[in-house]
Chains A and B, each alone.
Chain A
Amino acid sequence: MKRTWELIRFIRKSRRTKKQKLYKLAFGVALDKTIAIYLSFFLVMAFFMIYDQLIQFQPLFEKMQAAAEPFMPIVILGLFIRTIILSFHSPGILFTSAEYKMTTLPYLKQHVWFHTFIEAIAKALISFLLLFFTLLILTPISTLFLIKWACIIMVAVLLLILPQWCLYQVNGKKKILISIAGLTSITVLRLLFTQFTSQWYFLVSVILILLVCNIWLWGKRLSKVDWMRVIDVNDTKVWNMFFVNRMSEMEIKPVRKPLLQQLFRSEKERKPFPYHRDKMIFRKLWRKNLMEEKQHFVQTVVTIILCLVVLSFQNDILQGLSIVLAIFAFSKMSASYFHKGLKDKLIHSLPWNMDVMKRAYLYWIYPVLTVLGIILGAVLWIHQGLQLMTLLQFIHFSVTAYILLNHQLDISIHKINHKWYTTPIGNWLIGPLSYLAIMASFVTPFASLYVVFLFIYKIFHVKRKNL
């Protein structure tokens, strides 16, 4: 046991050293000494400002304290739901490839696992204590209230570590059945205790049940463990350092797919594609790519919508600017995801039929563009009323967005095909000209007749492409 612990400590120390080096490199890219000094100064100032602000909210905190008491059982129920959700993604105990490697050396797997389990408990305890003292120092919440809540939540969280580990190892429908059974039992228990005025009967019962559950699971903790999946997820967790990823522009992703995706793959999905429908296979690949980027994608689209709505109601110039920004950001973002999707190793090794790939990609992008168009139409309608000129403006902006989106994708394709490609001046000008026309349409709506020029440009462009 002692030797195991010593080796784990050595691994942890080496991991910390490596992480420190990586952070040092990343900070070296992001900050210099002057910025670091200014930043630390601002952080200290921000701390005092937040503290000062929080003090002013004392009456609110007191109200919250008084109102929070009945919600304790809901919080406990929330912790159960959290454990179930987490068990689909993470085993909760950081058993990585380093620990697995130890088990191939003369160390017992039980001992190594036990240390990682203790580590998980220690981490949870330290996090709680840190949170507890931060809230104690920074907020005017009473100490007694904090101690009571922290103790109950901490005990529940600690007792849920082992169930999460065991639930993570269960696959398929069995896992869903166990999750539903667990949640139903805790809800029934809560309903049984509603007749008691004190919450404590319910809370003590939950903790006792969790204790029994932990004792029962202890014997099964190392049976039927999918070690490869555990290692895969944990390695990603250990080495996925947000700041380093941002600075190095590299992202560490788990190699294996989440269990749910595999579970719900239907027989239909397994069938070969209708071969003559060449876009279908690429639609599936683009969907996969966009799903991987969905967080950033949704963030950008929401920002575009917010910008469109908020700025539109300020004045005409800002409305024009918001539409220009929206079209610019959307077309650039779409082109960037298109380019990134082609970097996948397998996709990159194939000869691309760019026309098919582009059309398959646009199959997912056009609906988003349509949503943006509807919002834009609604904003124009509310702002200017239903007039013929508003309709002309709407057509103008929609056609501009459609053409510039396609234009950006075509530039991307050219750049992939020709290393030294530079956009011809005529093609390059279409962007700034279109943006100018949008701005001008808010001075005189007749500027929206520019849409006729765009149609001619498009026809000319398609003819030249077909030559």
Chain B
Amino acid sequence: METLKFEGVRVEIGKNTILQDIDFSLEQGNIVALIGHNGAGKSTIMKTIMGWQEKKQGNISINGINQDDSFLTYKKQIAYIPEEPFLLSELTAMQHFQLYGQSYGLSEQQLNQRVEHLTRLFEIEDKLNEYPESLSKGMRQKVQTICALLPDVALMLIDEPFMGLDVHAAADLQQLIIDKAKNGTSILLTSHQLDRVGEFADSYIMLHKGVITEKGIMKDFAELTRRSTE
């Protein structure tokens, strides 16, 4: 069963075409890695799915719900971990978790159980009442990651999942991603750490200058050639 359908999507910024008629889909419970050099269009795909980047043409749907027809229902099915944490300086870590819990309709009991488990796993249980400014970058990334891991969603978007995380947290996140996928969540991620992604991704999509140049199962992935040689 297809979770995400990305059909004929074209994105233009000014006169530049960033994505050229991109087509791909994600099966339920699949982990797909978006691979490519800097500027290939990986983050633009993420932003377009999130609705931050306006598309010129094409359709994006999750479980049959079109982004353009019912954006609110569409969004309930996505959770996103950005490359750079964007937290609100008005809210503490715990208040961020509450914001996510309420937005995704988690009960108080569910929220507290998950927060307890995840904060202990990422070793930030003593930082719950801290504001983002008093947290290190790695800790802010952990807070942002936990926020996205709290709800049960159909699709999880992860931009550079291991950026800013220490070795233990990265290993834990990798396991959590695998568990999420086993429970039916489809995962779309971008990463430059190809060795690591190769360990758990099912398939890959390679992008070059806004065009899909290759698709396949992860174990068949050979290598990423230098940007200048393509």
Give A contacts to B, CB under 8 Å: 256-257, 262, 265, 270-273, 275-276, 278, 281, 284-285, 288, 344-346, 348-354, 356, 416-420
Tell me, yes or no, whether B220 is within 8 Å of chain A by CB: no
Docked-complex contact A257 and B89, CB < 8 angstroms: yes
Q: How many contacts between A and B, using CB within 8 angstroms?
A: 86
Known interface pairs A350-B99, A350-B103; A284-B90 also in contact (CB < 8 Å) = yes
How many residues from B make CB contacts under 8 Å with A? 39
Distance in Å: Cβ of B150 to nearest Cβ of chain A: 11
* A276–B129 CA distance with the chains assembled, in angstroms: 19
Can you list 15 A-B pairs with a CB-CB distance of less than 8 A?
A270-B131, A275-B101, A275-B111, A281-B99, A281-B102, A285-B90, A348-B51, A348-B52, A349-B80, A351-B77, A351-B103, A352-B103, A354-B72, A417-B72, A418-B70
Instruction: Kindly list the 10 A-B residue pairs having the minimum CB-CB distance in the complex, ordered from nearest.
Output: A419-B68, A351-B76, A350-B103, A275-B108, A351-B75, A270-B129, A272-B94, A345-B86, A288-B90, A417-B72
Give B contacts to A, CB under 8 Å: 50-52, 67-72, 75-78, 80, 82, 86-92, 94-95, 98-105, 108, 111, 128-131, 133
Docked-complex contact B101 and A349, CB < 8 angstroms: no
Residues of A near B128 (CB, < 8 A) are 272
Residues of A near B67 (CB, < 8 A) are 419
* A82–B89 CA distance with the chains assembled, in angstroms: 28
Docked-complex contact A418 and B71, CB < 8 angstroms: yes
Q: Which of B89, B90, B100 has most A Cβ within 10 Å?
A: B90
| Partner of A351 from B68, B72, B91, B98 at Cβ < 8 Å | B72
Known interface pairs A257-B133, A265-B131; A281-B95 also in contact (CB < 8 Å) = yes
In the complex, which residue of chain B has the Cβ closest to the Cβ of A277? B102
Known interface pairs A257-B133, A265-B131; A273-B72 also in contact (CB < 8 Å) = no
Docked-complex contact A270 and B92, CB < 8 angstroms: yes
Docked-complex contact B69 and A418, CB < 8 angstroms: yes
| Partner of B100 from A270, A350, A419 at Cβ < 8 Å | A350
Residues of A near B51 (CB, < 8 A) are 348
Docked-complex contact B98 and A275, CB < 8 angstroms: yes
Docked-complex contact B72 and A346, CB < 8 angstroms: no
Residues of B near A288 (CB, < 8 A) are 88, 90
* A418–B74 CA distance with the chains assembled, in angstroms: 11
Docked-complex contact B133 and A352, CB < 8 angstroms: no
